[in-house]
């Protein structure tokens, strides 16, 4: 069952619903599927954050059937300075009732974690939420152990996921927990997802912290770099590609992207290495060579500096066995 309220983020609801719908169609006929239900404070239309509406099938307070999994999506209120988690007080009140608390599995998407916390469901537990409201969750609920950078977190029967699209990752993990990883992979392929992300992995890559350049020459360079990681990407070489002096290039690059060219190149190489660590069984030397870092020692140094862990520890933490699909050649 997915609980909805006025101001709910549509993708928080639609993403998990699509995963469960696909799983229900793809699961073997001799295995149980999924029956999905949308519940609101009253049956009928609920206005989403973007202005569209969805229909609640039933009232959560009058639900007359057992629910195996309860999912609480989130809502965000934006101001000029920040985003805050929306609190649907009637939902929080219901979440605190024995009927809701007794649900075998409870999950939240995005800022829905704030309502679980307000209902006392996250006391003493590890949890995550949208990165923009993680500070609010920690400040409002110091009894919650906030893991602000995780995609999703499982603490016994309670699962929480991060911002918006991570509800899809959470739902795939629930499918794998109910059935097996193979069905979750089939659902991900059905949904044409690029990859299925493990729960503890960062909400966003190193590159998402950087802007897109508005200068045409720097923008072309941004698009070119990921496909040429083993080439000379020094300031001098990059300046030649943009037909600028090294000094002018370095100044313009910093103005456009907020970091030095060397830092940006290292970030691109780091992202490429991280993807290979998680999704292939390639050796560290092969990975280091393929992304232009040159040596295992450099790969170790970069990972320790950026992530605080070694490449081996990163692989161990974030790799699921079924993701090791591309062997070292």
| Within a domain: 264 | yes
DSSP state of 43: S
Same domain, 146 and 223: no
What is the greatest pairwise CA distance in the chain? 72
Same domain, 238 and 299: yes
Q: At what angle do helices 166-178 and 10-26 cross, to 10 degrees?
A: 30
Same domain, 178 and 220: no
Which pLDDT does position 18 carry in this prediction?
Answer: 96
Please say which residue of 130, 161, 190 terminates a domain: 190
Percent of the chain with pLDDT over 70: 91
| Within a domain: 80 | yes
| Within a domain: 303 | yes
Same domain, 59 and 154: yes
- CA angle 268/181/197 to nearest 5° reads 20
Cβ-Cβ contacts under 8 Å for 165 (sequence gap 6 or more): 11, 15
Compute the CA torsion angle 316, 321, 323, 328 (nearest 10 deg). Answer: 80
Same domain, 181 and 132: yes
Same domain, 42 and 157: yes
| Within a domain: 230 | yes
Same domain, 243 and 310: yes
Please say which residue of 190, 214, 245 terminates a domain: 190
Structural domain total, the chain: 2
Mean pLDDT, consecutive 10-residue segments, the chain of 329 residues?
97 96 91 93 95 95 89 92 91 96 96 98 96 93 90 93 89 92 86 62 55 85 93 96 95 91 92 86 95 94 81 73 45
| Within a domain: 310 | yes
Could you tell me the CATH number of the domain that includes residue 69?
3.40.50.880
DSSP state of 119: T
Beta strands of 35-92 (E only): which ranges?
38-40, 44-47, 53-56, 58-59, 69-72, 76-78, 83-85
The two structure tokens encoding residue 261: 């060219």
Mean residue pLDDT across the chain? 88
DSSP string, 154-221: EETTEEEE-STTHHHHHHHHHHHHHS-HHHHHHHHHHTT-S----TTSBSS-GGGGSPPPSSHHHHHH
| Within a domain: 329 | no
Could you tell me the CATH number of the domain that includes residue 227?
1.10.10.60
The two structure tokens encoding residue 180: 């097996």
Same domain, 114 and 210: no
Same domain, 61 and 210: no
- CA angle 98/104/109 to nearest 5° reads 95
Same domain, 22 and 65: yes
Please say which residue of 166, 190, 214 terminates a domain: 190
Same domain, 126 and 255: no
| Within a domain: 143 | yes
| Within a domain: 254 | yes
- Global pTM? 0.68
Range of the domain at 234: 206-323
What is the tens place of the pLDDT at every residue in 134-189? 999 999 999 999 988 788 899 999 999 998 788 998 999 999 999 988 898 889 88
Same domain, 151 and 47: yes
């Amino acid at each position: 069952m997915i609980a909805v309220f006025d101001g709910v983020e549509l993708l928080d609801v639609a993403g998990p619903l699509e995963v469960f719908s696909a799983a229900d169609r793809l699961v073997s006929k001799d295995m149980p599927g999924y029956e999905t239900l949308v519940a609101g404070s009253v049956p009928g239309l609920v206005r989403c954050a973007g202005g569209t509406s969805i229909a609640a099938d039933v009232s959560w307070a009058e639900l007359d059937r057992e629910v195996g999994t309860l999912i609480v999506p989130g809502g965000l209120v934006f101001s000029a300075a920040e985003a805050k988690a929306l609190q649907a007080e009637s939902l929080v009140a219901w979440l605190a009732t024995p009927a809701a608390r007794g649900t075998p599995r409870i999950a939240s998407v995005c800022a829905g974690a704030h309502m679980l916390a307000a209902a006392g469901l996250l006391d003493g537990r590890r949890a995550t939420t949208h990165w923009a409201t993680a500070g609010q969750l920690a400040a409002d609920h110091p009894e919650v152990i906030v893991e602000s950078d995780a995609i999703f977190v499982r603490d016994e029967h309670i699962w929480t996921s991060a911002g918006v699209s991570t509800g899809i990752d959470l739902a795939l993990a629930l499918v794998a927990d109910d059935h097996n990883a193979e069905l979750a992979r089939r659902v991900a392929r059905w949904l044409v997802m690029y990859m299925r992300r493990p729960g503890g992995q960062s909400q966003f890559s190193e590159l998402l912290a950087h802007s897109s350049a508005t200068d045409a020459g720097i923008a072309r360079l941004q698009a070119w770099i990921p496909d040429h990681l083993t080439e000379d990407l020094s300031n001098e070489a990059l300046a030649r590609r943009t037909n600028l002096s090294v000094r002018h290039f370095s100044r313009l690059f910093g103005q456009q992207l907020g970091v030095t060219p060397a830092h940006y190149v290292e970030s691109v190489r780091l992202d490429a290495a991280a993807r290979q660590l998680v999704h292939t069984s390639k050796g560290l030397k092969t990975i280091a060579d393929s992304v232009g870092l040159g040596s295992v020692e450099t790969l170790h140094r970069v990972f320790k500096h950026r992530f605080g862990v070694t490449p081996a520890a990163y692989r161990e933490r974030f790799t699921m066995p079924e993701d090791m699909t591309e062997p070292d050649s």
